[in-house]
Every structure is written in C-alpha cells, then in structure tokens.
Amino acid sequence: MKRRKRNKAEEICGCVDSVLLGIAIGVLTFLVVVQGVLVLFPQVGKNVNAALGLEGDPLQPGNTALYAGGISSTPWAVLTLRLEDGLSRPEVKVIVDGKEAGNFVYSEVTVNVRHGSIVAVRNDNPGLPVSVVVSKKTPNIMEPQINSGVSGNNTLFFEPVVIK
C-alpha cells in the first residue's frame, strides 16, 4: 500500500487542530479547578469578586435565633382610622412618627404602628374641620382605644400608641 504524502496545508491544519484541542482542554481544566476551589473555600470568592464582599457575611446557623428574637421583640400593630362624616377628604393626611402614612382618599386609612408611635391627622383645609375616630385595631394595642377620636382644624394628635 502506498501512503499518500501530506502537503504543507494539511500539516498546518493538523497542527492547528491539535493546538486548539490542547487550548480547549486546558481552559476547561482551569475552569473546573477554579470552580472546585471556590466551592471548597468560599472565603476565596469574596477576594475574587468585589460584589460578594458587599453582600455581608452569611448568617451562622446558631445566630439565626438571635436575629429572629431581635425582630420579634419590636412587634408591629395596625390602626384603622375613619372619617366620621364618611366622605373622601384627600387633603387630610395621616402622619405616623413624623412621616406621611396615608390620606383619606377613602373614608378609612389603615396604618402600621409600633409601641410609642405618635399618630397625627393633618388637615390642610383649615376652613373645614375634620373628625377622625379609631375604627379598628389589632388586639395587642392598648392605646388608643376603639371609638376614641380627635376633631378640629390643623394638626390633631392621638394618644401615643401603647402595645402590650
């Protein structure tokens, strides 16, 4: 049998194929090694990727109860305030701890409060007095009571919220 002689172009193609195959195998090997290092040593990932450092430290299994206890020690409660005349008054705002929490586009507004929150009603139309009562509340709120209310012009304050 006679072997066919390879020309220069076929020899170059053969060399290029083997070089490209070697590069592909090298890159894949490198990626597998890097992935293995990042899985086995997660701290290395923080040094490699700046975005991971911005996330903060992961919670340790023993510390989750501590964080959950901190959250549950400040319970939230809900108050529903109602306009006594039952009309829509969007110019009347509900302020909780100095921040606007809603307005009376509808005749009732529900707001989240905490122990010690100051709930105020601001009437931007002083020529038209307003009367607002507490129509609903969660059971853990001791003050203000249901049906307690405020009436008048300008800014009106309810009693500070007391949660049991």
Same domain (yes/no): 37, 93 = no
Give the model confidence (pLDDT) of 114-147 as tens digits: 888 899 999 888 788 888 999 988 888 888 888 8
Query: What's the pLDDT score for residue 7?
Result: 77
Assigned domain for 131 exists? yes
Contact 88, 104 (CB under 8 A): yes
Query: What's the pLDDT score for residue 12?
Result: 81
Give the model confidence (pLDDT) of 34-60 as tens digits: 889 888 887 777 677 666 566 666 666
Q: What is the pTM of this model?
A: 0.53
106 is in which domain, residue-wise?
75-163
Same domain (yes/no): 37, 89 = no
Query: What's the pLDDT score for residue 133?
Result: 93
Distance of CA 60 to the CA centre of its chain: 21
Query: What's the pLDDT score for residue 120?
Result: 92
Same domain (yes/no): 88, 33 = no
d(C-alpha 147, C-alpha 163), whole Å: 17
Assigned domain for 32 exists? yes
Same domain (yes/no): 80, 133 = yes
State the pLDDT confidence band at 28, using cuts at 50, 70 and 90. very high
Contact 143, 128 (CB under 8 A): no
Same domain (yes/no): 86, 29 = no
Assigned domain for 63 exists? no
Same domain (yes/no): 154, 100 = yes
Same domain (yes/no): 80, 155 = yes
Assigned domain for 68 exists? no
Same domain (yes/no): 154, 86 = yes
Domains held by the chain: number:
2
